[in-house]
Amino acid sequence: MAQYPDHLHYTADHEWVSADGRVGITDYAQDSLGDVVFVELPEVGSIIRAGDTVGVIESVKSVSDLYSPASGRVLQVNSALIEKPELINQDPYGEGWIFELEDAELGDVMSAQEYRQKIEGE
């Protein structure tokens, strides 16, 4: 059963963002992708807007754009993913986080409950 922690915000594109600006992809997204083998991260210091394409996640069979769920400046990226992209599969809300925004301003996001309903409708 896929998990959607209540304290996170979610996008229709299957990203999550926490109150302190940390961003990743959801359990549903990592499961749909399958084994993640390559991640392209945004640049630290870059200013991004909610909805921007900020990176790429590749599984064995597919290439996916990563959209930012919020606006802000990229404070840090999870460089552990360069060597261990599988962290996204293993721990999508923890060790598999992707980047962190400073003064994040949320874009069009939904609650865990709304997101779960959307997924179950798909």
Partner 1 sequence: MEARRYDELVVQKGCDMRETPLTSWHRQHQAKMMEFGGFLMPVEYDRGILAEHMSVREHLGAFDVSHMGEFEVSGADAARFLDYVVTNQPSALSVGQALYTPMCYENGGTVDDLLVYRLKSDRFMLVVNAGNIEKDWVWINRLADGWSAVTLKDRSEEIGLIALQGPDAESKLRPLTKADLASLPSYHAVPTTVAGLEGLVSRTGYTGEPGFELYVSQRDTVALWEHLLDQGALPVGLGARDTLRLEARLPLYEHELTAEITPLEAGLSPFIKWDKGDFVGKAALARQKANGLKRRSVGLRLEGGIARAGYDVVAERGAKPIGRVTSGTKSPTLGYPIALALIDTAFASVGTSLYVRIRGRDILATVVKTPFYRRSRAAAETS
- Sign of the alpha-carbon torsion through 89, 93, 96, 101: positive
Per CB under 8 A, the list member of 57, 87, 101, 109 interacting with partner 1 is: 57
The single-letter DSSP state of residue 41 is P
Contact 92, 25 (CB under 8 A): yes
Closer by beta carbon to partner 1, 66 or else 104: 66
Choice from 2, 51, 52, 58 touching partner 1 (CB under 8 A): 58
Q: Which is nearer to partner 1, 2 or 103 (CB)?
A: 2
* CB 94 to partner 1: min, Å: 18
For the segment 69-98, give every residue that binds partner 1 (CB under 8 A): 89
Q: Please choose, from the candidates 77, 83, 79, 98, the residue with its C-alpha nearest in 3D space to the C-alpha of residue 30.
A: 98
